[in-house]
Structure 1
Amino acid sequence: MRKKASIRIEGMHCATCALTIEKSLSALKGVHKAEVSFGSGTAIVEYDPSLANISSIKGAIEEAGYKPVAERIAFYVEDMRCASCIRALEEGLLEKDGVVAVNANLATKLVIVEYIPSVVTASELRDAIKGLGYTPMIRESGIAAKGSKFKTKFVFSLAVTVPVFVISMFLMDLPYRAIILFLLGTAVLVVGGSSFYTGSYKSLRRGVPDMNVLVALGATAAYLYSVYNTFFAAGDLYYDAAAMLITFVLLGRYLEDAAKSRASLSIRKLMELQPKYASVVKDGEERKVPAEELMPGDEVVVRPGEAIPADGTIIKGSSAVDESMVTGESVPVDKAEGDTVIGGTINKTGLMTVRVERVGRDSFLAQIISFVEEAQARKAPIQRFADHVAARFVPAVVSVALLTFIAWMLLGKGIGFSLLMAVSVLVIACPCALGLATPTAIMVGLGKGAEMGILIKGGEVLEAIRKLDTVVFDKTGTLTVGRPSVAEIVDLAGVGEERILRVAATLESGSEHPLAAAVIERAAGLARYELQGFESFPGEGVRGKVDGKEAAIGNRKIMSRLGIAMDGAEAAAARLESEGKTVSLVALEGKIIGIIAMIDKPKPDAKEAVEELKKEGLEVYMLTGDNERVAKAICKEIG
């Protein structure tokens, strides 16, 4: 039976490129027909799955010098517990035709699959993971579910284990003591230990025993020995050992999941930048729709203060857009009809209509999220080594525990003591830390970096940092505070700085611009005048009547619009701008009375950090999307 696959290809520049790929594919054993379209950028390949598969087809395209593009989907797998699980998932999914690559990460519990949708669907991938004995879930709901699940089980187990411990240690003469301990111990194993037993069953069925097997073996051995002594003999009882083992491991898993959830915060924060809903205009009517339903060509209305729902082009209106998350520029960028905007950036001042051009995985924000996820999933060399060891650890531990039991029995210590020693070996040798330490450390490092605007391309980069000789810093929010503040007030009319600030703050009280926020913050505690006739000019400034007098604040454009001459203000404005400051001109009754200069100040410890790096022999550079004047001023200040 033949299969047909449609594969997107990057890197084609002409019809000759398409012919080259066709030739490479046609030469592949098992391929019956290959048609490559330069216009659509796709290859339609008909092949015999018994002789060829997507991996070999992908290899043929790459051998021709081009890049096949696969779709990517992330599954949250709650019951992925150790390196053995990773191996089972990766190998199991790669056996499925249409799957290009699989990257399972224990720290995030994410399984990222690259696949060809025309060959295998997302639902088939989900079913394949279920077939391997795991439970794939939507990432966000999975995170919420796992936290509550382990917390509930731990609280229940703790509540029951405490009386088990007290009765075992201190109430030796309690009536029906053995029966009470049996009932309480059974409750802990059934409720609290259920996840360990189901996990053990699945791992043994796959032929790759994991840490669940160690916990289940240890708890069951202590429990069954105690049950035997309860009903058939008069030996020691170890219900407390079984219950405490389950409870403490549950506590560890709950804390582990909480730590990993915090480590995943950087990706969730990036996701939160994308608005949930968009105002779409169709047939002259505006209606709210989920942002994920947007399609290229849709027209969306974006109001002041709202996040832009998708990448696109402004077709109506103008505004100032805060693009600091993308470019690092501290001051909003003026946008007008024909300008492009990026999804997730903030519309600050004006009303505008945007034609959507890129959505989903093609959007700029999705590419950033994908970059961070891929970096967190990519294994460092030391992590690959740890996974290799952990995957073979469980059989060795079981063998050592068995030898421990036999050795103590031969030494005449009795079955109870020997069993306790064997259980101890099983518990302390659980490879949780071995399988989790490296990926969690890498994930936390990459996550913290992403929060601070530093994207690190995987764990191997973290390992290579010890060899680096150059450091390149982002400016906004890394070397600087990340928001403008008033640096200087120039009085051009002898009215006093307080008067200039009061006029400016009164006007800016009606604006949402970050520069307005800086002025209002500086004027805190000063009384404002009465404001009438407020009018905003996106990308220019605002005007209105302040205490009954015509006033305005903004850049040169609004002064020109209102016919206000720069006169002596030009030289002062030029000086401030040469120092990397952003200037706001304040006018009253047709005359510029002062200038308020603002700057995104360096962080208090930025200079010290740069000096320390230089002492280590590193070259330090700053990379910014801000203008050259601002960049030079910041570099001069921090050295």
Structure 2
Amino acid sequence: MPDTLQATRLHYDIANLSCGGCAARAQAAMAAIPGVAEARVNFATRRGDILPGPGFDPAAVGRAMEAAGYPATPHESAPPLRLEVEHLTCGSCVARAEAALRAWPGVEEAQVNLATRRAELRVETGVDLAGLQAHMAEAGYPVHPVETEAAAPSRPREDEAAPYRRAFILSLLLTLPVFVAEMGGHLIPAFHHWLAMTFGETLLRVAQFVLTTAVLAGPGAVFFRLGVPALLRRAPEMNSLVVLGAGAAWAWSTLVTFAPALVPETGRHVYFEAAAVIVTLILLGRWLEARARGHAGAAIAGLMALRPDTALRIGPDGREAEVALDEVRPGDRLRLRPGGRVAVDGVVEDGESHVDEAMLTGEPLPVAKAAGDSVTAGTVNGGGTLVYRATAVGADTVLSRIVAMVEDAQATRLPVQSLIDRVTMIFVPVVLAIALAAGALWLAFGPDPSQALVVTVSVLIIACPCAMGLATPVSILAGTGRAAELGVLFRQGDALQALARVDLVAFDKTGTLTEGRPAVTGLHPADGGSAEDLLSLAAAGERSSEHPLARAIVAAAEERGLALPETGGFANTSGAGITARVGSETLLVGSAAHLQAAGIEVPAPPEGPETVVHVGQSGRYLGRIALSDPLKADAARAVAALKERGIAVAILSGDAEGPVDAVAARLDVTEARAGLSPAGKRAVLDAWREQGRKVAFVGDGINDAPVLAAADVGIALGSGTDVAMEAADVVLVSGAPSAVVTAREVSRRTLRNIAENLVWAFGYNIALIPVAAGALAVFGGPFLSPMLAAGAMAASSVLVVANALRLKRMRAA
């Protein structure tokens, strides 16, 4: 896996955009710039984004967009800002916190995640962070910066659950006597008579008042601290419902206890036990929910825990010293003992061993390491000793960037979430209206005025925007976290939703289905030529290329000890070949079409499974080089597994027809296209999509970037290039084709889990709010007790989170 996973998109401010048509024309002009793999223009923000590909010239953007009539200037934007957000308890809180963040000058975009209690902001450079914090505190949702990607995720999530646990235990101890005294008397009449004769009705009620007041003022104070200010701001949320429900039950009971003459005789019932039990059960629900969320988000903490705290550094004098990890610098020589964890990314200089990379890639077998091989932070050494030189430390390591990718995925918002947030924004005010209306109707037409109180409190307490707000983000949290543990990184949130709908997966061949480490198997110089001259010239031209075929040719020349001539003027034509100068002559290495475009006549090679690279110089054909590339061990299993799931499989390759057909035959793939340029691959994808197909493309090379960006879902192998990974929506860390099946299963099961949560959360509220309002009692059925309402509400959120936790049991396909 490469050691860089950084974003490379470029952002521009676009002038003269006055309508959607302007945006479309500006986007077309931007996409037509040479070297642009993908371009997007947003009319609402007047912004354009570019994914640069091979041959991209930043200076060309200004010239091209000026000529198109839509001048573009680089957008000055600060890096994404992540904030911890306090007082988030339900979906309506999320909507209000987002609205408050977006209202602050300099905040371009804000997304708040209920499951992680975090916000991600895109802000202008120089935004007033202190002012933003004061603004959010006034709005009721204080924010604090997440200092570093490495430190913040590793903080134990149990910290959030512990206060709720303590509050629940104290509330339970205070509530039990109240509950036993009141409900025990209803269940066992003799017990009620004994209490009344021993203590007296008035003393019992005073005792219940004292204990219930202690519950509300002590462990239940958190609801009042958050709910009352929200009511005063006219932005009620979940805590406000608890305050109104429990507070109304307590206030009515207090009035009956100390001023019974003010209440009609038929309504002189106390509900202290309801107020106390409501608070206790909701605290229990909050505790269990916080614990479950901690388990759901444990993937990031687990990844960061892979880093050792220290490293064994070898000084210039050869002495070894154990140093803290933050003291390691690029270029330091480090020793890795048997069984130890790799501290930072590096390259092995001495020693041989096997390294277990399963915790990053999901691959179970240890990987052999020797001089020249790369090692990745967090992986575990086997029985040998290695000396390696640090190449990336801190936030620059692959592990830290994987953590950043996972955090991005977990903070993502699926399209359905926006609808949910709009619903939850008005949910609490609607519930308040229903509660007041139901209470007023039962007060006006019911036989007992106290029953109106029961109905009102039950409606307030039964409503659960928490479950609605958590339904999507907690499933994403658990699903993407487990995916990361299996070596699948979702870079774009839409991919999590789109991948489940894919019905065709198209693979690149070289480096994707094959090992990508082809070897030269034949040298065929033209008449009168030398095999060594042919290979040395081809290797000299290919030295600057990153293509697997180029590396194989260079390696073959090095193995033979051939002297390579000096070259200059290197140019790469994506998907075709290279051009270079050798002295005063022009050298071309690549496909037959590449040489033919320069006027060189290329004889047709014999049909066969080998890949052929042609070599020409200054109009003369010098010969061809044959290479073969073995299939990856799990390629056949991956194709078969996709087919079993009803997904069509195709191969789109720039290679010659013979090698492509040979691979397709071995994998039993009927749809295989050979000799395609990146534009040709994209044209095939577009044709499939016009037929209504949902297409995923899997690739690993620079030339795959435009196709990855154009597909419904682009899937890049972690063993590929950084440009390919930036263009992709999903990255497979291991580089194994079978991980495509795992990614699809993660997507499918996460979406199914979200659907289950949404059905439960909305169904629960739709079904039980009318019951709490007394709908059954109208037809002679029972009223819903406020205590049962509190239990149901607490259970609703816990069930949503518990259902999402089932995703943690997913296994690699």
TM-score, normalization: structure 2? 0.50
Alignment equivalent of 1:312, drawn from 346, 356, 369: 346
Residue 372 (structure 1) aligned with residue 387 (structure 2): no
Residue 343 (structure 1) aligned with residue 377 (structure 2): yes
1:91 Cα deviation from its structure 2 partner: 3.4
What is the match of residue 268 of structure 1?
A: 301
CA distance in 1, matches of 2:395, 2:135: 23
The 5-angstrom pairing of residues 411-490 of structure 1 reads 411-457=445-491, 460-470=494-504
Alignment equivalent of 1:240, drawn from 273, 282, 289: 273
1:331 Cα deviation from its structure 2 partner: 4.4
CA distance in 2, matches of 1:277, 1:123: 35
1:289 Cα deviation from its structure 2 partner: 4.0
What is the match of residue 676 of structure 2?
A: none
Alignment equivalent of 1:110, drawn from 118, 135, 138: 118
Say if 1:9 and 1:66, in contact at 8 Å, map to a contact too.
no
CA distance in 1, matches of 2:225, 2:258: 27
What is the match of residue 206 of structure 2?
A: 179
Determine helix, strand or coil for the equivalent of 1:416. helix
CA distance in 2, matches of 1:217, 1:201: 9
What is the match of residue 175 of structure 2?
A: 161
What is the match of residue 190 of structure 1?
A: 217
CA distance in 2, matches of 1:320, 1:125: 50
CA distance in 2, matches of 1:282, 1:371: 34
The 5-angstrom pairing of residues 602-613 of structure 1 reads none
Quickly say closer, same or farther: Cα 1:325–1:166, change in 2 above 3 A.
closer
What is the match of residue 443 of structure 2?
A: 409
1:272 Cα deviation from its structure 2 partner: 1.8
Residue 219 (structure 1) aligned with residue 253 (structure 2): no
Residue 150 (structure 1) aligned with residue 178 (structure 2): no
Quickly say closer, same or farther: Cα 1:326–1:181, change in 2 above 3 A.
closer
Quickly say closer, same or farther: Cα 1:68–1:366, change in 2 above 3 A.
farther
What is the match of residue 502 of structure 1?
A: none
1:106 Cα deviation from its structure 2 partner: 0.7
Determine helix, strand or coil for the equivalent of 1:321. strand
Quickly say closer, same or farther: Cα 1:301–1:182, change in 2 above 3 A.
same
Quickly say closer, same or farther: Cα 1:140–1:209, change in 2 above 3 A.
farther
Determine helix, strand or coil for the equivalent of 2:403. helix
Say if 2:348 and 2:386, in contact at 8 Å, map to a contact too.
yes
CA distance in 2, matches of 1:618, 1:134: 46
Quickly say closer, same or farther: Cα 1:468–1:65, change in 2 above 3 A.
farther
CA distance in 1, matches of 2:718, 2:119: 35
CA distance in 2, matches of 1:631, 1:142: 35
Quickly say closer, same or farther: Cα 1:186–1:100, change in 2 above 3 A.
same
Task: Note the alpha carbon deviations across 1:23-59, whole angstroms, 9 max, x for none.
Answer: x69999xxxxxxxxxxxxxxxxxxxxxxxxxx88998
The 5-angstrom pairing of residues 545-624 of structure 1 reads 614-619=643-648
What is the match of residue 284 of structure 2?
A: 251
The 5-angstrom pairing of residues 6-405 of structure 1 reads 10=8, 64=72, 70-72=78-80, 74-96=82-104, 99=107, 101-114=109-122, 119-120=126-127, 129-130=136-137, 132-134=139-141, 136=143, 138-141=152-155, 143-169=157-183, 170=185, 171=192, 173=196, 174-175=199-200, 176-204=203-231, 207-233=234-260, 235-281=268-314, 284=317, 286-292=320-326, 294-315=328-349, 317-326=351-360, 330-405=364-439
1:11 Cα deviation from its structure 2 partner: 6.2
Say if 1:273 and 1:344, in contact at 8 Å, map to a contact too.
yes
Say if 1:377 and 1:458, in contact at 8 Å, map to a contact too.
no
In terms of mean alpha carbon deviation, does 348-357 or 384-393 score higher? 348-357
CA distance in 1, matches of 2:130, 2:367: 43
Say if 1:76 and 1:139, in contact at 8 Å, map to a contact too.
no
Q: Which amino acid aligns with 2:207?
A: I
CA distance in 1, matches of 2:404, 2:236: 32
Say if 2:178 and 2:211, in contact at 8 Å, map to a contact too.
yes
CA distance in 2, matches of 1:9, 1:367: 10
Q: Which amino acid aligns with 1:374?
A: D
Q: Which amino acid aligns with 1:119?
A: G
Quickly say closer, same or farther: Cα 1:26–1:314, change in 2 above 3 A.
farther
Determine helix, strand or coil for the equivalent of 1:379. coil
CA distance in 2, matches of 1:159, 1:431: 28
CA distance in 2, matches of 1:199, 1:400: 22
Task: Note the alpha carbon deviations across 1:342-374, whole angstroms, 9 max, x for none.
Answer: 222223344344433333433211222222222
What is the match of residue 723 of structure 2?
A: none
Quickly say closer, same or farther: Cα 1:140–1:472, change in 2 above 3 A.
farther
1:294 Cα deviation from its structure 2 partner: 4.0
Say if 1:386 and 1:435, in contact at 8 Å, map to a contact too.
yes
Determine helix, strand or coil for the equivalent of 2:89. coil
1:184 Cα deviation from its structure 2 partner: 0.8
Task: Note the alpha carbon deviations across 1:381-439, whole angstroms, 9 max, x for none.
Answer: 22221111001111111111111121111114343211111111111123122111222
What is the match of residue 560 of structure 1?
A: none
1:296 Cα deviation from its structure 2 partner: 3.5
Determine helix, strand or coil for the equivalent of 1:251. helix
Count matched residues.
Answer: 460
Quickly say closer, same or farther: Cα 1:10–1:466, change in 2 above 3 A.
closer
Determine helix, strand or coil for the equivalent of 1:108. coil
Quickly say closer, same or farther: Cα 1:207–1:262, change in 2 above 3 A.
same
CA distance in 2, matches of 1:290, 1:206: 49
Which has the bigger relative contact order, CA under 8 A and spacing at least 6? Answer: 2
CA distance in 2, matches of 1:316, 1:428: 66
CA distance in 2, matches of 1:420, 1:611: 60
Q: Which amino acid aligns with 1:617?
A: G
1:108 Cα deviation from its structure 2 partner: 2.1
Say if 1:58 and 1:68, in contact at 8 Å, map to a contact too.
no
Say if 2:155 and 2:301, in contact at 8 Å, map to a contact too.
no
Say if 2:361 and 2:487, in contact at 8 Å, map to a contact too.
no
Say if 1:9 and 1:67, in contact at 8 Å, map to a contact too.
no
1:315 Cα deviation from its structure 2 partner: 4.7
1:78 Cα deviation from its structure 2 partner: 4.8
CA distance in 2, matches of 1:374, 1:74: 10
Say if 1:97 and 1:119, in contact at 8 Å, map to a contact too.
no
TM-score, normalization: structure 1? 0.62
1:246 Cα deviation from its structure 2 partner: 0.8
Q: Percent of aligned positions with the same letter in both sequences?
A: 36
Q: Which amino acid aligns with 1:152?
A: R
Ranges in structure 1 where 5+ consecutive residues have no aligned partner: 1-7, 13-19, 29-54, 474-599
Q: Which amino acid aligns with 1:442?
A: I
Determine helix, strand or coil for the equivalent of 2:278. helix
1:206 Cα deviation from its structure 2 partner: 5.1
CA distance in 2, matches of 1:281, 1:290: 13
Task: Note the alpha carbon deviations across 1:265-304, whole angstroms, 9 max, x for none.
Answer: 2222222222232334556564444434544444433322
Quickly say closer, same or farther: Cα 1:11–1:195, change in 2 above 3 A.
closer
CA distance in 1, matches of 2:446, 2:326: 69
